Amino acid sequence: MNQNINVTISPKTILFTISILLLLLFLSRIPGIIAVLLIASILASAMTPAVSYFQRRLRLGRPLSILLIFLLVLGGFAMAGLIIVPVLVDQVAQLVGNLPAYGKLSQRFLDQARTLGIRVPGLADIAQLASRQASAWLQSTLSYTMKFLEVILSLFGILVTSFFLLNDGPKLKAGIIRLCPPESRSRLGELFDPVARQLGAYVRGQMTVVSFLTVYMAISLTIAQVPFALVLALIVGLLDIIPMVGILGVVPAALVALTISWKLALVVIVIFAVGNFLEGNVLSPLILSKSVDVPPILIFFSLMIGAQFMGIVGALLAVPVTAAALVIVKNLYLPSIEEASA
């Protein structure tokens, strides 16, 4: 005897299941969402003085002032791109064209290493390994394309979030304060502005210092007639954004110079050393004087923690987030301890 079994799924069950799936998706994306919020918050803190200036001087509404700042920043990047990108593309093309010559030079170094009894793979072995990996690289093209689209969407999300944080920041601040216990509202209200000022000062100062080092390296390497000066200077600038990592920027420039002569490589190292001396002993104390002085040991551990959880983005955010945490400890936690012990 056949029995028909009817399974009825209520709309509530379907809604609950969908909610659980959406929650799991959200939790899997939390690191990316946190990164977007942190970057947007830091950018908003950095642009707040400019927005306030436009409001005060040009008598514009806050949304219009924010939009004007965005247009100026994006327009500046576009103009810089029009000037730099053609030269950059040309130098990258030359660098790729010179790879065979660099390969022969590398082979000569490898041969010399073998004469000393050092076991190293030859270029033929490396080429064979690369050919085996080629199919895997091609298969990952779609994955890289999706990651590129994710980066574009994240950048768009950062811009939109920054706009709303700049526009609705005072309302958001008041709403967060109202959610706190009445006895903590006064002290918490006094905490927002110092944190925002410190973050903004750090970002503006760091970008100024990095821009100086990049321009200095580009001009100096060009005068020294080092090939691909602009590409190498940009590498130095990008690495210098992350504290304690910037020193690695000299490696590509020195290696390229070494293909010409050891004297030119030495000149590159001296140029880089002078730039880092000016950055560390003149510009950073002068420009970053308004930002929080984070102890080197905290910078080191914050970089490791940030890189562990969010990769390169985490390393970039580590120092400003640590600086904000120090402001909170200084202005909120320490006074509470002093009051309790009094």
Q: What is the pLDDT of residues 161-181, one digit of tens each?
A: 888 888 887 788 777 777 777
Cα-based torsion angle of the residue sequence 244, 245, 246, 249 in order, rounded to the nearest 10 degrees: 150
pLDDT band at 217 (very low <50, low <70, confident <90, very high): very high
DSSP structure class, residue 247: G
Q: What is the pLDDT of residues 229-254, one digit of tens each?
A: 888 888 888 888 877 777 888 888 88
Q: Do the beta carbons of residue 162 and residue 43 sit within 8 Å?
A: yes
CA distance 80 to 82: 5
Half-sphere exposure (CA, 13 Å, Cβ side) for 200?
16
Rg (CA), the chain: 26
How many Cβ atoms are within 10 Å of 235's Cβ, its own excluded? 19
- Mean pLDDT, all residues of the chain: 75
Structure tokens belonging to residue 294: 């984070």
Please give the model's pTM, rounded to 2 decimal places: 0.64
Of 190, 202, 210, the residue nearest 45 (C-alpha): 202
CA distance 154 to 335: 38
Q: Do the beta carbons of residue 106 and residue 123 sit within 8 Å?
A: yes
Phi, psi of 3 (to 5 degrees): -120, 130
* Secondary structure (3-state) at 227: coil
DSSP structure class, residue 333: I
The residues, ordered by sequence, that sit 6+ positions from 44 with a Cβ below 8 Å of its Cβ are: 162, 165, 166, 169
Half-sphere exposure (CA, 13 Å, Cβ side) for 267?
16
pLDDT band at 274 (very low <50, low <70, confident <90, very high): very high
Structure tokens belonging to residue 263: 């004297």
CA distance 331 to 336: 9
The helix or strand, by DSSP H or E, that contains position 8, with its residue range, turns out to be none
| Burial bucket for residue 136 (CB in 10 Å: 0-12, 13-18, 19+) | exposed
Cα-based torsion angle of the residue sequence 181, 186, 189, 194 in order, rounded to the nearest 10 degrees: -130
Q: What is the pLDDT of residues 297-341, one digit of tens each?
A: 777 788 788 777 777 777 777 778 887 777 777 777 666 666 666
CA distance 165 to 199: 14
- Where exactly are the structural domains of the chain? 31-179, 182-342
How many Cβ atoms are within 10 Å of 96's Cβ, its own excluded? 9
